[in-house]
Structure 1
Amino acid sequence: MIFSSASKALRALADPAMRGVLWKTLGLTILALIALWFAIASGVTELALPWVSDMVAFNYSLPEWTGWISLFTAIAAGIALAAGLAFLIGPASALIAGLFLDDAAEHLEKAEYPSDPPGKALPIVEGVWLSVKFAGVVVLGNLLALALLLVPGINLIAFFVVNGYLLGREYFEFAARRFGSEETVRALRSKYSGTIFGAGLVLAAFLAVPVVNLLTPLFGAAMMVHLHKAIAAKEAARTRRSERVAA
C-alpha cells in the first residue's frame, strides 16, 4: 500500500490542479518571507540608528578598528538573517500549503475515485489549526536535524523515526478526517500504525531533500489520500466478509 500510494502521489504532482496549489503556495511563501525580511531589517535599522545618532551628537572619538567591527557585525547580521529565512522556507510553505490542501484532496478524490462518496472539507478553524501543526512538524524536524548533526550514529535514525511518526500521523489524520470523526481516525491510526509509520518514513525522506522538501505538503496530502482510500477499501472488504460469515 505504501509504495503504491507514494507512486500515485508522485504522478499526482504533475496534475495541473496540484501544480496550481504549488505555485500559489510558493508565491505566497516568497511574499511572506520578503515581508518578514523588510520587517526585521526595518526593526534592526530602528534600533541601530538612534545609537549612531547619539554617537555623532556627543562627538565620540572612536578608534579606526571599530569601523571594521561594525562592518563585520553588519555582514554577520545579514548572513544570520538570510540563514534564518532559509530555515523558515519549509515551515512557511507548510503553513500556507495547509490552507489549500483540502482543495488538492478534493480534486484528487474526484479525479482518482469518482465513484466514491466525496470527502468533506475540514471546518475553517480546524483547517487552520491543522496548517499550524503541519508547520510545527516541519520546524521540529528541521530543528532535530540541526541538533543531531554532531551526534554520529543516531542523527539520521532519530530524524527519520521522529519525523516518520509525526508526518505519518498528521498527514493521515488530514486525509482521514475528511471522511470520519476523530474517534474513527484514531481507531484507524491505531490499527494501521505500522503502515502509517512506514508512509511517514517516505515523507521524512522527502523532507530531508533540500528544495524538494517544499513539495512535502502536497506530496504528503496526495500520498495519504491514496493510503487512506486503500485502508478504507481493506476495511470495507473485511466488513463484507464478516457479514457473509454471519449470514
Structure 2
Amino acid sequence: MILNAARAAAGHLFTPRFRGVFFKTLGITLVALAALWVVLRGAFMAYAWPFVDAILPGFPGWAGWLGVIAAVIAGIGLALALALFIAPVTAMVASIFLDDIAELVERQDYPSDPPGRPVPALRSLVLSLKFLGVVILGNLVALLLLLVPGINIAAFFVINGYLLGREFFEFAAMRFHGELEAKALRRAHAGTVFMGGMVIAGFLAIPFLNLLTPLFAAAMMVHLHKAVFAREKGLVTAY
C-alpha cells in the first residue's frame, strides 16, 4: 500500500501540470529565502557585529586577520542558518498549492470518485502556520540530536516521519472528512501513516530533490488516504 502510494506520487512529479506548480513554488521560495537572508544579515550586522568590531581594536596590528576570520565565520553561520530554514520555507510556500496538487491527483487517478473539497481558506492558513512550526521544531530537535552518536540519523527520520506523515495525511483526509474524523482515521491507521511519513522523510533527506517534498508528500498521502479509506470500507483500491 505504502510503496504503491509512493510510486504513484513519484510518477506525478515531473508531469507538465506538476511542473507548473513546482516552478511557482520554487520561484516564491527563492524570493522568500532571499528576503530572509537580507533580514538575517541585517540583524547580525546590527546586533552582533558591533561587539566583534569593538573587540578587534584591542588586538595588536598583526592580528587584523582576525577580522577576516570573524567575517568568514559569520558568513558560514548565516549560510547554515539559511539552510536550516530551506525546508520550512519551502513547505510553507508549497502549502498554498496543496489543494491544487490533491485535485490534480484525484482528477487523474480517481475520476469516478467524488472530488474532494478544498480546505477553507482560514483553516488552510492555520494548518500552514501549524505545519511551518512543526517542521521547524522537528528539524531543530533533529539538529540537536545530530550531536548524539548512534541516534542522530534515526532521530531525523523518526521525528520527520511522524510529523510529516501526520500533517499530510490529515490534510488529504480533510478534503473528504471533517477535521475530527480525519484525525480519528489517522489514529486508527497510525502505523501505516507513520511508515508513509518515513518514506517522505527519506525524500526530504535527498539534497535539491527535497524541494519537491511537499508536492510529493501531498500526492502520496492522497493515494494513501484513498487506500486506507477503501480498506476500512471493505472496497478495492484503484491500484
In the alignment, structure 1 residue 23 sits paired with structure 2 residue 20? no
Q: Quote the offset at 1:183 in angstroms.
A: 2.0
2:100 corresponds to: 103
Deviation per CA, 1:136-185, whole angstroms, max 9, x where unpaired? 33323322332222322222333222222211110100000010001211
Cα deviation, residue 69, structure 1: 2.5
- In the other structure, the counterpart of 2:36 is 36
Equivalent residue runs for 1:3-18 within 5 Å: 3-18=3-18
Equivalences for residues 45-84 of structure 1 within 5 A: 45-46=45-46, 63-65=60-62, 67-84=64-81
Q: 1:68 to 1:177 in 2, by over 3 A?
A: same
1:114 paired with 2:114, answer no
Q: Distance in 2 between matches of 1:153 and 1:50?
A: 40
Q: How many residues align?
A: 234
Aligned residue in 1 for 2:85: 88
Q: Distance in 2 between matches of 1:46 and 1:127?
A: 36
Counterpart of 1:224?
A: 221
Give % identity: 54
Q: Which moved more, 1:176-185 or 1:161-170?
A: 161-170
CA contact (8 A) 2:29 2:90 kept: yes
Runs of 5+ in structure 2 lacking a partner?
Answer: none
Q: Which amino acid aligns with 2:21?
A: V
Please state how far the C-alpha of 1:68 moved relative to its aligned partner.
Answer: 2.3
Match of 2:122? 125
CA contact 1:97–1:131 (8 Å) conserved in 2:
no
Larger radius of gyration: 1
**TM-score normalized by the length of structure 2:** 0.87
* Equivalent residue, structure 1, for 2:153: 156
C-alpha contact 2:142 2:159 (8 A) present in aligned 1 = no
- Cα RMSD after superposing both structures: 2.5
Matched, 1:235 2:232: yes
TM-score normalised according to structure 1 size: 0.85
